[in-house]
Amino acid sequence: MAENWKHKSHLDQYRIDGKIAIVTGGGQGIGESCAHALVEAGANVIIVGRNEDNLNAVSTELNKKGQSSYFVADLVNTVEIKALQDYVAKKYKRADILINNAGIGQWKSALDITTEDWDLMIKTNLSSAFQLSQQFGKMMIDNKYGKIVNISSISGLIVNSEHSHVHYLTSKAGLIHLTRGLAVEWIKSGVRVNCITPGYTATKMLTDLLLSPDGIKIGKKINELTPAGHMAEVTDISQGVLFFSVPASDYITGQILSIDGGYTLL
């Protein structure tokens, strides 16, 4: 057994040919990049989001490289999450990989956060990830195989000094412990659950926030506080997601990978 590795190709461990992968928030940004990475590695990818035009455009590009489809859903709605699971079960019979990427952000001081702000943040960033993991986890456990990758944030590890967003911090911290809890509970069922905590990444969501009145100053400060000297590109994040999705990471679960240019080291 100790010598079996000599008969395996290391590069083959980065292939996921024929695997069924679901990527939420797949119509743009990190999710779009993740979808491309998974398709390039051989997966059949279903991208999920609210904007059908975006999803259709991304899926068209993905189909030039491999196999892809899309499903329109608002993941705050539990009925639509179940509809997504029904769609995947009926069309593909199984789910091998789930990337919980969908999320929102908002910069707002604690005293100004409304109940509606809080509920939407928690439902979008945390509750939906649990409900999706629950729905697709059942399928993975039945198949004795599955990979779940949660996209949290360095804001789940630290309190950003550049701006206030305690509801966002809470949602992303919860996602980290959700990862650990599911990893322990499902490891003997063949399901691996890991988490990426991206640093500041050049996505449309962050770019829009940086257009706020204080955004330019914050953007400059972010670059100064990042040892790498600049924000991450979306492909920096999707490479980590790909690693957690392929057989090369089969012995890894419950882990939190920070891709942040050294930001959390300081």
Q: Domain for residue 8, yes or no?
A: no
Q: Domain for residue 210, yes or no?
A: no
Q: Is the pLDDT of residue 209 over 80?
A: no
In terms of Cα–Cα distance, which of 263, 163, 252, 156 is closest to 206?
163
Q: Domain range holding 163?
A: 15-203+234-259
Q: How many domains does the chain have?
A: 1
Write out pLDDT tens, residues 63-122.
999 999 999 999 999 999 999 999 999 999 999 999 999 999 999 999 999 999 999 999
Q: Domain for residue 60, yes or no?
A: yes
168 labelled catalytic: yes
CATH of the domain at 90: 3.40.50.720
pLDDT band at 213 (very low <50, low <70, confident <90, very high): confident
d(CA 132, CA 82): 8
Q: Domain for residue 57, yes or no?
A: yes
Q: Domain for residue 5, yes or no?
A: no
Distances (CA, A) of 60 to 43, 127, 225: 15, 30, 38
Q: Domain for residue 243, yes or no?
A: yes
What is the pTM (predicted TM-score) of this model?
0.96
Q: Domain for residue 226, yes or no?
A: no
For residue 2, the model assigns a pLDDT of: 66
pLDDT band at 1 (very low <50, low <70, confident <90, very high): low
d(CA 227, CA 156): 19
Catalytic option among 14, 70, 145, 168: 168
